[in-house]
Structure 1
Amino acid sequence: MGNTKSLILKPRFQKLGPETIADLQKHEDIDFTSAEIEEWYREFQLHMTKGITKLTVDVFKKVYNRVFEGDASSFAYHLFRSFDMNGDGYVDFREFIIGLSVSGSDNPDKKLKWAFRMYDIDGNGRISKNEMNCILRDIYKMTNAMVSDELGSPEQITDKFFTKFDLDGDGQISFQEFKNGALTDPLIIHLLECDPDP
């Protein structure tokens, strides 16, 4: 026994402390249980290299490209931007879990606020036709969706959406117009769920 070294196996994943979990659960946008937060933390850590504690846009793109059949790089950038709440170019676990909870929420108001931020690429509080076209093209590219007669191209969907919901005719969609449109037309909800087929 004198020459044997004790082997201490470190766990593969770090655990979140109970106080960290409790703090996360206090956030109004987080709807996950303690067990779900722990599971998402393990998943989050899978994509970290040694010493790194935050996701970069490149890692985010790699993860999304594994999930979807098509090229998810462009859409993943928009998603990353919506998760990166402080705009520092990284997504830490807090931002990650809030983004997941809000984007997957059953609360339509929370989900629409998050989606609006994603569509509002320049962050000016309004969605232009160009911004909506950009997001819709990226959804089509990511899902390998084909332009259908029923649905049309991203540009045709944008035109239809603006015709129906740009109530003041200024060529931009405010949050209220976006919300009204999404709540009355299921197409936008399908697109928010990255499902171009209603």
Structure 2
Amino acid sequence: MGNRSAVLLQPEEVAEIQNDTGFSPSQIIRLYSRFHNLDKNNSGYLTRENLLGIPELAINPLGDRIVHSFFQEGDDEETLNFRQFMRTLAHFRPYRKSKDADHNLNSREEKLRFAFRMYDLDGDGLISREELLAVLHMMVGANISEDQLGSIADRTIAEADKDGDRAISFTEFCECMERVDVEQKMSIRFLH
């Protein structure tokens, strides 16, 4: 079946996806095969349910948020085509300065934008206390008391909020993440 999937992907498409995402042709073909294995209806599109069927996402406390991020570009679309799938995965490619100058999907800024969207639940460009609390709940469940979670959220907002609007903007988020090795922490090794 992997070979059948690879045949359906034309060399021009592989080259375009490579130029857009920075993935190697062999990575694109492998991910194309994976995409089609996830596409249970052979529709050429994935749904949220298809992605939530990935065991690693199903057990991840932020699995829902990660899956949601795949659909950001589609303007609330409920399906995801292969190019959209590849553009989202490109955020997780390790960044190499010499090799990735033309592929900014895996740059530090784009990785931070992706991470920011995990917290910005309503998509308004700000992380409110309520959104931060909701994500903390997803991450720790009932392992921490409401008071402790509230304290963490309040402290985080107080430290990050530079303009006094009681929310965290993308710029403020980036400032907070200045010392974090985002390039390393948000990278997945894709096989060649």
Whether contact under 8 Å (2:158, 2:166) holds in the other structure is no
2:189 pairs with 1:182: no
Structure 1 residue 124 displacement after superposition: 1.0
- Asked whether the equivalents of residues 48 and 78 of structure 2 are also in contact (C-alpha less than 8 Å), the reply is yes
> Which residue identity does 1:109 align to in structure 2?
E
After TM superposition, the score normalised by the length of structure 1 is: 0.72
Residue 88 of structure 1 corresponds to 77
Residues 1:120 and 1:169: Cα distance change in structure 2 (over 3 Å): same
> Match of 1:20?
13
Post-superposition CA distance 1:39-64 (Å, at most 9, x none) = 1111111111243221111121121x
1:123 positional shift: 1.1
Q: CA deviation at 1:10?
A: 9.8
After TM superposition, the structure 1 stretch with the greater mean CA deviation from structure 2, 121-130 or 43-52, is: 43-52
- Deviation track 1:95-127 (CA, whole Å, cap 9, x = no partner) reads 111111114453321100111123211111111
2:40 corresponds in structure 1 to: 49
Q: CA deviation at 1:128?
A: 1.0
- Shift of residue 136 of structure 1? 2.8
**Native 8 Å contact 2:112 2:174 kept in 1:** yes
SS of the equivalent of 1:13 reads helix
Q: Distance in 2 between matches of 1:171 and 1:92?
A: 38
Pairwise CA RMSD: 3.0
Between 1 and 2, higher relative CO (CA 8 Å, sep ≥ 6) is seen in 2
Between the two proteins, the alignment pairs up a number of residues equal to 169
**1:120 partnered with 2:120:** yes
| Identical amino acids, percent of aligned pairs | 27
Q: Work out whether residues 6 and 29 of structure 2, in 8 Å CA contact, stay in contact via their aligned partners in 1.
A: no
What secondary structure sits across from 2:49 in the alignment? helix
Matches within 5 A, 1:52-63: 52-63=43-54
SS of equivalent residue, structure 1 residue 90: coil
Counterpart in 1 of 2:131?
131
The 2-side partners of 1:176 and 1:62 are apart by 34
Instruction: State how far apart, in whole Å, the 2-side matches of 1:14 and 1:123 are.
Output: 36
**Correspondence for 2:163:** 168
TM-score normalized by the length of structure 2: 0.74
Q: Name 1:97's counterpart in structure 2.
A: 86
Separation in 1 of the partners of 2:178 and 2:56? 28
